[in-house]
């Protein structure tokens, strides 16, 4: 088994699990956009950038921070592409060392900024009693919502941390279509259509054409641009992922007939 993106320890919501040969689809599913609902608490910051960490700074929260119009305006300023410094407590590896383990040992790693994209940031509400913003985010792969909470606080000059996080979607997969682990006696009942999960253009071919992972005729996907990935089916079943090149379709992943059992 594998997964298409971990959840932070305090987070809840959608976790996409991959079984058997479908673990080979991880690069395509992990790269999907993610959606979250988040609670950003102002007045204190922590070493982990979330509620599980140790408070490292605190300050009064100016009343203006809790104005809904102002909050929405600030969130709008975080839309688009930017560079983000990941949290010190993360699963990122540097030279084989894991960031959160190094941080807990007292020797935090120097992490490089990474490119992210905040596609939407909708204010769901402001809770004045707890000095909290509730926000719905849609973000690119690799975006840390904890770091967004930290950076929003820094922009406002007020310590802040992530007080709650729930993943609501990963690519085409949504939380309302997921199955809770509790009481799941038949794991196959939780399987979803891999074609729908991938959300790629689809090309139907005869099974013999991909039996040995051979390239395919470019004309089969003449309307797909170079560099675009596509799903290849045989009798409607996902059997491979190919990439469109200038003169042919190149195999990236070839799956056995029938999938996991």
In angstroms, the CA 173 to CA 195 distance is: 11
Low-confidence ranges of the chain (pLDDT < 70): 258-261
Question: Buried (b) or exposed (e) across 94-119, using 16+ Cβ within 10 A?
Answer: eeeeebbebbeeeeebebeebebbbe
Active-site positions?
A: 8
Could you tell me the CATH superfamily of domain 33-170? Pseudouridine synthase (3.30.2350.10)
pLDDT at 117 (0 to 100): 97
In angstroms, the CA 226 to CA 238 distance is: 21
For the chain, the structural domain boundaries read: 33-170, 193-254
Which of 2.40.50.140, 3.40.50.300, 3.90.1150.10, 2.30.130.10 would CATH assign to domain 193-254?
A: 2.30.130.10
Q: What is the pTM of this model?
A: 0.89
Query: Taking a C-beta distance cutoff of 8 angstroms, is the pair 232, 241 a contact?
Result: yes
In angstroms, the CA 24 to CA 254 distance is: 9
Query: Taking a C-beta distance cutoff of 8 angstroms, is the pair 119, 139 a contact?
Result: yes
pLDDT at 112 (0 to 100): 83
pLDDT at 261 (0 to 100): 47
pLDDT at 65 (0 to 100): 97
Query: Taking a C-beta distance cutoff of 8 angstroms, is the pair 218, 248 a contact?
Result: yes
């Amino acid at each position: 088994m594998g997964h298409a993106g971990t959840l932070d320890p305090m987070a809840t919501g959608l976790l996409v699990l991959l079984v058997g040969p479908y673990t080979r689809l991880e690069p395509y599913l992990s790269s999907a956009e993610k959606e979250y609902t988040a609670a950003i608490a102002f007045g204190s910051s922590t070493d982990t950038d979330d509620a599980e960490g140790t408070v490292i700074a605190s300050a009064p929260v100016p009343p203006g921070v809790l104005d809904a119009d102002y909050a929405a305006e600030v969130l709008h300023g975080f839309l688009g592409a930017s560079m983000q410094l990941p949290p010190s407590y993360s699963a990122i590896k540097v030279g084989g060392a894991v960031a959160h383990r190094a941080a807990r040992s007292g020797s935090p790693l120097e992490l490089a900024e990474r490119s992210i994209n905040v596609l939407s940031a909708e204010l769901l509400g402001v809770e004045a009693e707890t000095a909290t913003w509730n926000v719905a985010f849609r973000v690119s792969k690799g975006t840390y919502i904890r770091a967004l909470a930290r950076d929003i606080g820094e922009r406002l000059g007020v310590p802040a941390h992530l007080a709650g996080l729930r993943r609501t979607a990963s690519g085409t997969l949504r939380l309302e279509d997921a199955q809770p682990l509790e009481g799941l006696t038949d794991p196959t009942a939780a399987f979803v259509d891999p074609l729908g999960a991938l959300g790629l253009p689809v090309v139907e071919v005869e099974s013999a054409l991909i039996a040995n992972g051979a390239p395919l005729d470019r004309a089969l996907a003449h309307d797909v641009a170079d560099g675009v990935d596509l799903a290849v089916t045989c009798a409607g079943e996902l059997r491979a992922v190919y990439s469109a090149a200038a003169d042919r379709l190149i195999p990236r992943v070839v799956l056995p007939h029938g999938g996991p059992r």
